[in-house]
A and B are shown apart, each in its own frame.
Chain A
């Protein structure tokens, strides 16, 4: 589980204000997911490609990420070309491949990858807590931000607990298989994980109360929208519109 794989870097994109990036990413995803034309989707794909190039992300890791995320898209290729009504271009046995189906599958693939690339280039290039901080500025309720903050903060701790438990299983030469013993063991593992997280959360709450926590995090680092941030965000709002609506 590699978190924040692309968050470290020193490019122009990495230094932009996360609020602008969140707005641009959300707008771009929404717009592209609504488009129904392949040309518009292809045109829209250009923008995230430029962003990724600007952010100078590691090409190999980017491709592995894209390959993983495209699993669902690959799945649609197994049936959309056959089931989407249209002109038959090729027949394999009883199955007909329809031209419109191939186009539709292409459309889904391009749209999906455009959005994924945009999210990697815009949100992936900020540390997660910065993105959440930006969200709290953009009107996401405090409680949700706090929930997310605690969840993210203790994700690694709980993962360590999980590793401890699974090592304990290994030491006792547990070998997973398709049997009731395995399922019972995993159920107890999950149960223990829940119990440990519960204990930990009680300690956190007590510690917070001891320090007079009043339900508010004080932020020391404040964002400032500079001229380039305004420029970038307005480009992020105008360019996709131009591409999608003109084509």
Chain B
């Protein structure tokens, strides 16, 4: 999901940075000081989990988990995703400083949308509704993220069409896997630690 430095056009970078800044500001405003360790450790856990490679056929994909992060954190997903991208930017140079805003938006906006669309459904006591919503939450988050990455490339130049299409197509298996993982993860949390889904990380 990372777009390298130096690829995107200036307007895309600037809009991405502005949106990322705004989203992070909203997220930080809604975040209580008491919740900082929890949010930070969830971000760390999702960072560690993104190194898990899940096999699919002969290849493997790595997890993204922005869907479940969004459902748990709401707007706070913006700063959480930003801080988990930041070490990658300065230590691995995976998507550097100038694309940080764009990448944050690409991953956090779908997370926040997923929060509004599915969080009530996921917390429903009916297993079918909850299961369906959690699958969709993981699925849609990756769908929207890959569309956003593709959109950034296409807005940069028409010659990126082919690449953008390839990116979205390559993410279709990832969407299903994230859907299944989110589904399993929510079921697990409901059984083992239901209060984790009830905590309100973001102030209304």
Contact = CB atoms under 8 A, between A and B. Distances in A.
Interface stretch (A120-128, A222-230, A232-240): A120-128
A175 B89 CA distance: 33
Contact of B192 (A84, A144, A191, A215): A191
A182 interface: yes
B91 A124 contact: yes
B49 interface: yes
B90 A131 contact: yes
A150 B55 contact: no
B65 interface: yes
B90 to A, nearest CB: 4
Contacts of B51: 1
B97 interface: yes
A83 B54 CA distance: 33
Given A75-B163, A112-B5, A190 B83 contact: no
Contacts of A204: 37, 41
A4 B91 contact: yes
B57 A178 contact: yes
A150 B181 contact: no
Contact of B48 (A30, A41, A80, A159): A159
B64 to A, nearest CB: 11
B65 A190 contact: yes
Contacts of B43: 147, 151
A205 B33 CA distance: 10
Contact of A144 (B2, B83, B182): B83
Contact of B5 (A4, A111, A144, A183): A111
Contacts of A115: 5-6, 96, 98
B34 A205 contact: yes
Contacts of A149: 40
Contact of A154 (B40, B98, B184): B40
Nearest to A120: B93
Given A76-B160, A116-B4, A143-B36, 8 more contacts: A33-B5, A69-B94, A150-B37, A151-B84, A154-B40, A158-B45, A186-B63, A190-B184
28 contacts: A4-B91, A30-B97, A70-B4, A82-B162, A84-B159, A101-B159, A113-B6, A115-B96, A119-B5, A143-B79, A144-B24, A144-B83, A147-B83, A148-B40, A150-B40, A151-B40, A151-B47, A152-B44, A158-B48, A162-B48, A162-B52, A182-B55, A183-B54, A186-B52, A187-B183, A191-B184, A191-B192, A195-B189
